[in-house]
Amino acid sequence: MRNHVIRTTQSAIAASLLLIIAGVMIPASAWSLDQHTWTDGQKAILRSLWIGSLGPLPVDPSNRYSDNPKAAALGRKLFFEDHFSGNMKVSCATCHREDYSFTDNLPLSHGMDTTPRRSMPLIGVAYNSWFFWDGRTDSLWSQALGPIENKLEHGISRTMSAYIISKYYREEYESLFGPIPEITEEKWPQEARPAQDDPNALKAWVLMTPVQREAVNRIYVNMGKAIAAFVRTIMPQPSPFDRYVEKILSGENITKRMALTNDEIAGLRLFIGKAKCTNCHNGPMFTNSDFHNLGLPQKGKGGPDKGRSAAITQVLSNEFNCLSQYSDAQANECSELRFIDTSGKKYEGAFKTPTLRNVTERPPYMHAGQFTTVHEVLEFYRSQAQNPELGHGDLTDQELGQIEAFLHALSSPISSLQAEKK
Ligand code: HEC
Ligand code: HEC
């Protein structure tokens, strides 16, 4: 009897539990939180990531030609010009391929030889203050001058560059920058540059007169300024993510066509929430423009890559920085350089947070191509739970898949000055 009572009570409880569950479940599906419902706080984050928040291109006071269309048109030609290389085969576009989000598909770039780092996508690059993975230059024009004299990349000297400009681009150059002083191979050595790694080239450079060196530097710098004017035009277009956010912010109904998939939305919620990706990948270019050491596996010979910590002195002493005689800026316009954070220790092994726009279109990943797929990148982040900067919580396999799905929604066609193909 007693048992029976208990049994009855148990089944009554079970039945009422079922009822409660059913009672909750029925209305829950009717009222279920719409997956397109975002709190005001979340909407503010979505707005900050939206391409509509990008704003006009920042002015570069150090390059007075940066928004000159003629300079950009010349720069575009120089970008695809393979005369500027030791083997006549390497141009900027070798490692920054237009059909590959302006990067290449190699773990380590290859020009005249293999470089120690991975190429970078140039999408929206003008929104940066520092260039290269370690930020060792402070403008796009001084950045462009690095690869040309780098033995592993273009591998030619600045005297040779000036000579090529005078031979093949004289008219366009002079209409922008004024007359080119007479340059002949007899008068000026072909392979002269202030090189640390090439005593012959350095000797030839030192033996030139100051006037000659200055003239060559001017041409070299103007070449960089024209290339920078082109590189500035490489911009992302609205991605599915941006179109979705635009609808959310306008309060319009989300049609199926505009909606992200359930997985993409779940991934977006994780990206701005539990996975804390927006701690660093924030703003409309998905980067905080700062440098971090993620504790990646080291690759390559020559000891650990010091990243940002080694670049601080390089940018401060760069002969073409914002405060140099070749910059068009007033000293007070060089605030990034003047207020540079010089804490070498903080930046030991740190690299620039890259944009995540078009990220799934351009494997491999990280500054030395450490990972082949986005999935590997995400697995790595999950394994770094003990890193205070990367405390992402316990992400399940399903959640990793959702974040990856979301990253796919950041792809878009890229616009640039229509590149001239050869
Ligand atoms: C041999 C391959 C190669 C060539 C050629 C090359 N680059 Fe790069 N580019 C790279 C690599 C690798 C990096 C990253 C290097 C580093 O961090 O040390 C890079 C970085 C950059 C960056 C920095 C992007 C950012 O977000 O900071 C820009 C801009 C750029 N290159 C433009 C150019 C231009 C312009 C040319 C032609 C004058 C050029 N590159 C030639 C491989 C190349
Ligand atoms: C502490 C800052 C920080 C956080 C948090 C962070 N990232 Fe990164 N992310 C970086 C930096 C820095 C790099 C480049 C590191 C390097 O190459 O040394 C990077 C690289 C990447 C790359 C490779 C991009 C490329 O072009 O090579 C992807 C993809 C990525 N992060 C996605 C994410 C996702 C998804 C999250 C959240 C789970 C996240 N990141 C969290 C700073 C961060």
- The answer, yes or no, to whether any atom of ligand 2 lies below 6 A from the CB of 308, is no
Cα–chain center distance at 94: 17
In a domain, 346, yes or no: no
Residue 15 confidence (pLDDT): 41
Residue 300 confidence (pLDDT): 66
Q: Which residues contact 334 (CB under 8 A, 6 or more apart)?
A: 61, 62, 138, 321, 322, 323, 327
Task: Say if residue 152 is in the same domain as residue 90.
Answer: yes
Q: What percentage of residues in the chain have a pLDDT greater than 70?
A: 89
In a domain, 323, yes or no: no
Task: Say if residue 206 is in the same domain as residue 282.
Answer: no
- The answer, yes or no, to whether any atom of ligand 2 lies below 6 A from the CB of 296, is yes
In a domain, 397, yes or no: yes
CA angle 220, 290, 368 (to 5 degrees): 70
Task: Say if residue 107 is in the same domain as residue 190.
Answer: yes
**Ligand 2 pocket: which of 101, 117, 271, 377 to mutate (most atoms <8 Å of CB)?**
377
User: What's the rounded mean pLDDT across residues 350-362?
Assistant: 98
Task: Say if residue 244 is in the same domain as residue 293.
Answer: yes
Ligand 2 atom nearest 118 alpha carbon: 27
User: What's the rounded mean pLDDT across residues 306-315?
Assistant: 95
Tell me if 155 sits within 8 A of 112, measured CB to CB. Answer: yes
- The answer, yes or no, to whether any atom of ligand 2 lies below 6 A from the CB of 276, is yes
- The range of the structural domain enclosing residue 174 comes to 69-231
Task: Say if residue 133 is in the same domain as residue 147.
Answer: yes
Amino acid occupying residue 140: L
Task: Say if residue 28 is in the same domain as residue 45.
Answer: no
Residue 271 confidence (pLDDT): 97
Q: Which of residues 189, 215, 231 is at a domain's end?
A: 231
pLDDT in tens, 371-408: 999 999 999 999 988 887 887 768 999 999 999 999 99
- Structural domain count, the chain: 3
Q: Which residues contact 267 (CB under 8 A, 6 or more apart)?
A: 399, 402, 403, 404, 405, 406, 407
Residue 24 confidence (pLDDT): 41
Average model confidence (pLDDT) across the chain: 88
Q: Which of residues 231, 255, 280 is at a domain's end?
A: 231
- The Å distance, Cα 329 to ligand 2 centre, comes to 33
How far is 63 from 44, CA to CA, in rounded Å?
Answer: 34
- The answer, yes or no, to whether any atom of ligand 2 lies below 6 A from the CB of 76, is no
Amino acid occupying residue 354: P
Task: Say if residue 163 is in the same domain as residue 45.
Answer: no
In a domain, 64, yes or no: no
How far is 43 from 40, CA to CA, in rounded Å?
Answer: 5
User: What's the rounded mean pLDDT across residues 316-323?
Assistant: 97
**Residue 5 predicted with pLDDT over 60:** no
- The Å distance, Cα 52 to ligand 2 centre, comes to 23
Task: Say if residue 395 is in the same domain as residue 248.
Answer: yes
Task: Say if residue 183 is in the same domain as residue 262.
Answer: no
In a domain, 61, yes or no: no
User: What's the rounded mean pLDDT across residues 189-214?
Assistant: 90
- What count of other Cβ atoms lies within 10 Å of the Cβ of residue 272? 21
In a domain, 325, yes or no: no
In a domain, 182, yes or no: yes
Ligand 2 atom nearest 374 alpha carbon: 29
Task: Say if residue 225 is in the same domain as residue 102.
Answer: yes
Cα–chain center distance at 83: 27
In a domain, 215, yes or no: yes
**Residue 7 predicted with pLDDT over 70:** no
In which band, very low, low, confident or very high, does the pLDDT at 17 lie, cut at 50, 70 and 90?
Answer: very low
Residue 185 confidence (pLDDT): 57
How far is 24 from 12, CA to CA, in rounded Å?
Answer: 18
- The Å distance, Cα 300 to ligand 1 centre, comes to 18
pLDDT in tens, 212-249: 999 999 999 999 999 999 999 999 999 999 999 999 99
Tell me if 62 sits within 8 A of 328, measured CB to CB. Answer: yes
Tell me if 347 sits within 8 A of 309, measured CB to CB. Answer: yes
- The answer, yes or no, to whether any atom of ligand 2 lies below 6 A from the CB of 408, is no
The CATH code of the domain that includes 51 is 1.10.760.10
Task: Say if residue 19 is in the same domain as residue 2.
Answer: yes
Task: Say if residue 257 is in the same domain as residue 199.
Answer: no
